[in-house]
Structure 1
């Protein structure tokens, strides 16, 4: 095992030998990053405090800094005795100093190599100087202290290191141009352009290097980008250096590179094999697999002029990614030029992968070295299309956010297959790019049972497995987590798990959060956070509905909102895969999604809003029931004015259909009203049931009577049905 290695030119990283060290909490890492950036120089405790907390330092800041330093000393030197300073983090008057040489710290090695490069160039040895510059520039892996700038002071400290890198890249480029060797500085200049987005000197060298390497189109695109950025951000035109670089590209007033033949260098293409592993315990999905197999089998017969695009959508945890990977492996052999995979992270808040970064990853997978990646978005799109033209490639793009994110990533070949997964249907891809949309629902009961049994270490009673599957709504993510719990804890019985799930108020507690494993609550939470305020409120209130399936009119009665607005909110929930719209026009909430909505209703709105929503819903059923009675038996029903509320039947046919479709809801409404002690509403709803469904009306009336009689302080006669 070799010694310690410290990296600050890019993300903060530390290795001991081949093992990377976990540097602890974020503020502790920030402290180390600031000390590394100031290597060899003392940093006062006051400056460290300002770098970590800015103007919001806690009273205990000094003690916290001493604690962090002690922890870092033990991480860097595990054999260090307690309360000894060690070799790296040294105490100074009023602060600390980090001591590390070029054999340990990348920044120290960078500065040593740059000094050697300048000395060599000054003694007329430019070739050796360029080689040293190249060695130094390779040490940078991105913005210094990446993402650890907690304050303006820390940001300035890290920016100074980025500035050193940009200055070195400029100096190296000038040497490279004299030698007509642009290749060694192309990659560093591209990185420098991302660090100094408004640095005209860096961009001028990048434009020149691209043009010398035969990449005139990319050079001109780079000029247009920096010119627009200068205008937008600073309101200025390009300076003389940048304009001169642009002029030399236009007039081709540049020497050809001495180390390569004329023309653009074509990267060596590789055959990628990036698919995630297939799930060994995969089960079911026969209809979906058959559909996908048919589409793939028809690729060579339908005269395609573009790749076959299939977009799988469905609720979080339903198994879209697992199905896509399984199908990809089934057909991988057909795509002889390889398989590419990328998680676009569209299911994470504000972390979805930008198309430009995604293109860079795909180009790298196709064999384009990092140093040769085009610097602009348009150039990357062109390179990707050129490299995929006519090739048989399978591309699996997981967790797509929207069509715009994926369009630049479509290969330029009718012989290629693109599989996508997304929470929402990618309607834009279907409308304008010819994508086939496939909705992925929960598996059938037999497949759900097989999914669990394949993961358990031994046999299990099928009836109990079926009950657990149904209590989870057959959601694959939930079933996989429960099976893993059972396999990891041999003393945990199926009956215990089933008992947890039977308690509807605590159903989601069966899936522990915060363990590093995705759970249903996390999967649903992302979709919920994307909702508008109105749709979010409706989602929470749906947990107060009396049945899992509701009509649009029932939802409007639940919220008290305008029917058209409620319909719009329902469509938003369906697009977010939080509810499903069935062929009969009803909207169904999955059992675990409903449990999540119920948690939110309790925490966000509280019991008073739940009670108010139940009251609104009872009034909705009462109004509709009275109107239905008026249509079926007009005399003496006490009907409200017809057509004044949504979902209210006004004809005999509609009244009969309404009663037929709302039998379960009315029965539950009777029970709820009786349990609330609302005798008038309970008896009125029971009367409506007696007219439409005599077979259940008797049970409903007996329940009302028993419930009202059992209530303390019941009003006299409330448990007796009113006369017709």
Structure 2
């Protein structure tokens, strides 16, 4: 399929696909702006309603997504909208997006500007032809407007670059009308005016060029009260002198550039121009560059701190932007390497001040000796100047603060690996944090670095970029290795980076590589913090909390919290919004190497064991709250976590599910008991939240571990859980086999209650598959073996519910009511909302079958009220589906559609068999 946002928002598959409604189009635009990335529901709500969402906004977003899925259904290369966490991701695999193609062509063209300008023009023209109007032309959303503005600006920049190249190719006669029209469309923009004057002059139309300048200047003075910039004034002077050649048209620059540094007047000291050279293959960082450009509008001299993980390209970005805005600072461009992470000592602030003052023409003999006097002289010298100062690789706040001028005409760019909170607190500085490149930025950089045919293999380049973790330094080293070795295939390069020695392949002769880049950040930390960092790296955890870090490092929570905060401030960990932390993949590899070298295998095993013991206690405590009627995971465990209620336990596993799964798999070989215990402890969560196929995959690993350990308790619990998972996927034979094995083990080991629970769920499975004779026998056996006096009310109520359902399915409607009401009585007042909800649903079905519709509606509503108190996707899907089916048959249909949409969404999360029924009913209502 083909998607377009450079103009109106469109989706095409041989023909234009109709998009139903403004909100659906806006939702698609939001997805396309972040294609292949998760878009949180909150972000979609903001895009659709700006600052005033209705109470039903989340539900309406889900409806928009349902409409989009319906529009894409059955199309060639059908894109998928995938639910991930609390958001959705639009996967464009096999599809095209015009904005991506525009960025790709523009980047490719810029790589040809020096060697093949005609080829660059051709590519730029192809990029510009993709535009059909302003970006997102038919989308009205202030939250998306700034994204559209960014693309509109990039279009103008590419257009200006293209026209400048064409002028340099001698095509002034061809483009003169185009540049005049472009300037007329953007009367405040100097670059098109400059190009128009150049084209007119080269066409021999000098008088028109001079008149054009006067008209542009008058408009600028009238509207803004300012004169044109230095570049345009210089061009005007050249025209007055009659210089018909008018020099070479410089490549277009983004709008932050207003002029050039004027020539030094005779007798004046030359303004310093110390910026390092930029790199020709700069790409990406559009959002940070836009943020930096906005800072130039500040009435005070901007101070910006570009910080981020080692190797993220902080200096590259700082130098690139500094060159772009150089024309604003006629008094000089200063660069100081503060050596904050060099092997030797960092540059002292006093030495840095002396260096700056010497660059500004102060003789060494006139430099004060006292640090305070030196700082005062620096502020005096810079007070009336317009300077750009780049302070590279700062160690900390104390090193930077004395180096800030007090002139509103100065700008300061600071780069640092860590955050500089003291700088932010004491000044009006703005922090800009760089993370790794996203997938598209990474691939674009590799294409620039690998200009041969390998650069056209986007799939393999994307895999390489993933192995580099999107880290610019790793991408550049990998790209340079490929450039130097033209016969190295991408497949071999991928194989090298997939191995255990990945960092060894991210270096070049004469370059210390990625490992040395990380070394500097690591060595800058105190000894205790390095130890904490190493402990985190060798754990199976994907993300860390204060408590899990404390368990790993065997420290108190307060110490773990302080350590995590310091590691995040140094960008050795990433701080997530949820209060969690995680590694960049390459940093984790490096930290694990440090652990192997400095701590060893024995310490690693002790560290992981502490984590597994802590996590098992948490999981067991959560299981006891979520499934109090089920057997505990470890009856010998006395220090299990005591959660306040089931909701708290469920929310904790929501946050830790990935970690628990990873730890269970990690423990399979060396700690098989912990493997099956962690898996079994997730049963309650998996039943209401988990994807069934993931559940089965995890439990198969756990079953192998329990068998190797000869642990019958583990085998029984895991077989029971597998049976439940298989039954949810409608795999009757496998589910029944697992139940029978679980019952056999429970009976052989004297665990009567556990056997009865397996009997109860097996009865439900037999009912679902129409095995009514088997179900009747199973439920009768179970009821006969129940202990007397109602000691197991939830188990007894479950068996009675199945008995009522058996009578319902076999047409004995009058007989069905009594066991269901008895079950309802058993559950009243004991807090068993889950069991009670299913009983209410069964009563609703019985009364609906008896045509007692008011009673049926009452029971369905009661089930929904009980569901409202639980975060149970399976139960929510079932209750919503039954109410939706009832309303689809008896009305109102609009309310039925709402219930069925939610049922379909919840079932889809679980990969549950109810999805098909909900979808079928929706299609019958015309809302598929």
- How would you bin the TM-score normalised by the shorter chain? 0.5 to 0.7
Whether contact under 8 Å (2:623, 2:682) holds in the other structure is no
Q: Is the 8 A contact 1:317 1:520 kept in 2?
A: yes
Q: Partners in 1 of 2:638 and 2:358 — Cα distance? A: 63
Structure 2: where are the runs of 5+ without partners?
Answer: 1-266, 718-745, 747-753, 755-928
Residues 644, 433 of structure 1: CA spacing in aligned structure 2 closer, same or farther, 3 A cutoff? Answer: farther
Corresponding residue for 2:337?
343
- Tell me how far apart the structure 1 counterparts of residues 643 and 582 of structure 2 sit (CA, whole Å): 22
Q: Which has the larger share of helix?
A: 2
CA contact (8 A) 1:683 1:721 kept: no
2:552–2:611 Cα contact (<8 Å) kept: yes
Contact 1:316–1:577 (8 Å) recurs in 2: yes
The superposition leaves residues 611-634 of structure 1 with CA deviations (integer Å, 9 ceiling, x where unpaired) of: 111111111221111010111122
Question: What is the TM-score with the length of structure 2 in the denominator?
Answer: 0.46
Q: How far apart are the structure 1 equivalents of 2:711 and 2:366?
A: 88
1:273-672 aligned within 5 A: 273-296=273-296, 298-299=297-298, 302=299, 304=300, 307-459=301-453, 460=455, 461-503=457-499, 505-512=500-507, 515-635=509-629, 636-637=631-632, 649-672=643-666
The alpha carbon displacement at 1:518 in A equals 4.4
Q: Distance in 1 between matches of 2:402 and 2:556?
A: 41
**What is the correspondence of 1:130-209 to structure 2 with a 5 Å cutoff?**
none
- Cα distance in 2 for partners of 1:288, 1:384 equals 30
Q: Is the 8 Å Cα contact of residues 627 and 642 (structure 1) preserved in structure 2?
A: no
Query: Segments of 4+ in structure 1 off by > 6 A?
Result: 639-645
CA distance in 1, matches of 2:505, 2:420: 33
Task: Supply the distance in 2 between the matched residues of 1:579 and 1:396 (Cα, whole angstroms).
Answer: 26
Indicate which of 648, 668, 672 corresponds to 1:679. 672
**Structure 1 654/615 Cα, relative in aligned 2: closer, same or farther at 3 Å?**
same
**Contact 1:397-1:420 at 8 Å conserved across structures:** yes
Q: Check whether the contact 1:272–1:340 (CA below 8 A) recurs between aligned residues.
A: yes
For residues 649 and 523 of structure 1, do their structure 2 counterparts lie closer, same or farther at Cα, with a shift above 3 Å needed?
farther
Residues 105-132 of structure 1, C-alpha deviations (whole Å, 9 max, x = no match):
xxxxxxxxxxxxxxxxxxxxxxxxxxxx
Structure 1 residues 548 and 584: alpha-carbon distance in aligned structure 2, compared to 1, 3 A threshold: same
Q: Tell me, what secondary structure is at the counterpart of 2:437?
A: coil
In the TM superposition, what is the alpha-carbon distance from 1:457 to its structure 2 partner?
Answer: 3.0
Number of residue pairs matched by the alignment: 445
Shift of 1:358: 1.0
Aligned-pair distance for 1:407? 2.1
Change (3 A) 1:379 1:640: farther
Aligned to 2:775: none
Report the Cα offset of residue 315 of structure 1: 1.1
1:703 aligns with 2:686: no
Between the aligned partners of 1:371 and 1:315, the Cα distance in structure 2 is 40
**1:641 to partner: Cα distance:** 12
Residue aligning to 1:688: 681
Cα separation, partners in 2 of 1:707 and 1:501, compared to 1, 3 Å: farther
Using the TM superposition, give the Cα deviation of residue 531 of structure 1 relative to its aligned residue in structure 2, in angstroms.
Answer: 2.0
1:128 is aligned to none
Structure 2 counterpart SS, 1:618? helix
Distance 2:357 2:270 in 1: 10
Conserved 8 A contact 1:580-1:587? yes
Q: Structure 1 CA distance, aligned partners of 2:312 and 2:639? A: 40
Q: Distance in 1 between matches of 2:447 and 2:556?
A: 47
1:82 equivalent in structure 2: none
Whole-angstrom CA distance in 1 between matches of 2:314 and 2:642: 39
Secondary structure of 1:481's counterpart equals: helix
Give the whole-Å Cα distance in 1 for the aligned partners of 2:308 and 2:564.
Answer: 16
How big is each residue's C-alpha offset from its partner over 1:221-254, in whole Å with a ceiling of 9 and x where there is no partner?
A: xxxxxxxxxxxxxxxxxxxxxxxxxxxxxxxxxx
> Hey, what's the Cα distance between the residues in 1 that align with 2:524 and 2:573?
14
Superposed displacement of residue 654, structure 1: 1.4
8 A Cα contact 2:672 2:705, kept in partner: no
**Counterpart contact for 2:278–2:316, Cα < 8 Å:** yes
SS in 2 for 1:395: strand
| Alignment partner, residue 97 of structure 2 | none
Shift of residue 346, structure 1, vs aligned partner: 0.6
- 1:650 and 1:555 mapped to 2: Cα distance? 23
Tell me how far 1:280 sits from its aligned partner. 0.7
Q: Which residue of 2 aligns with 1:720?
A: 715
SS at match of 1:313: strand
Contact 2:281 2:449 in 1 (8 A): yes
Kept in 2: contact 1:456–1:483 (CA 8 A): yes
- Contact kept? 1:627, 1:640, Cα under 8 Å: no
SS where residue 414 of structure 2 aligns?
strand
Q: CA deviation at 1:290?
A: 0.5
Distance in 2 (CA, whole Å) between partners of 1:346 and 1:640 is 55
CA RMSD of aligned residues (A): 2.4
Please give the alpha-carbon distance, in whole angstroms, between the structure 2 residues aligned to 1:288 and 1:466: 22
CA spacing shift, 1:346–1:438, aligned 2, 3 Å: same
Whole-Å Cα distance in 1 between the matches of residues 467 and 601 of structure 2? Answer: 25
In the alignment, structure 1 segments of 5+ residues that lack a partner are 1-266
CA contact (8 A) 2:424 2:430 kept: yes
1:233 aligns with none
* CA-CA distance at 1:717 after TM superposition: 4.7
Contact 1:385–1:411 (CA under 8 A) maintained in structure 2: yes
Q: TM-score, normalised by structure 1?
A: 0.59
Q: CA deviation at 1:269?
A: 4.3
TM-superposed deviation, 1:386 = 1.9
Say if 1:549 and 1:586, in contact at 8 Å, map to a contact too: yes
Shift in Å at residue 682 of structure 1? 2.0
**Cα distance change of structure 1 residues 578 and 374 upon mapping to structure 2, 3 Å threshold:** same
1:34-45, aligned counterparts within 5 Å? none
Output the CA distance in 2 between the equivalents of 1:643 and 1:477.
Answer: 50
Q: Is the 8 A contact 1:673 1:681 kept in 2?
A: yes
Conserved? CA contact 1:314–1:577, under 8 Å: yes
Q: Distance in 2 between matches of 1:427 and 1:674?
A: 44
C-alpha contact 2:339 2:394 (8 A) present in aligned 1 = yes
Alpha-carbon distance, 1:690 to partner? 2.0
Deviations 1:518-555 (A, max 9, x none): 42211211221122233211111112222332222221
Q: Is the 8 A contact 1:348 1:526 kept in 2?
A: yes
Secondary structure of the residue aligned to 1:662 is: helix
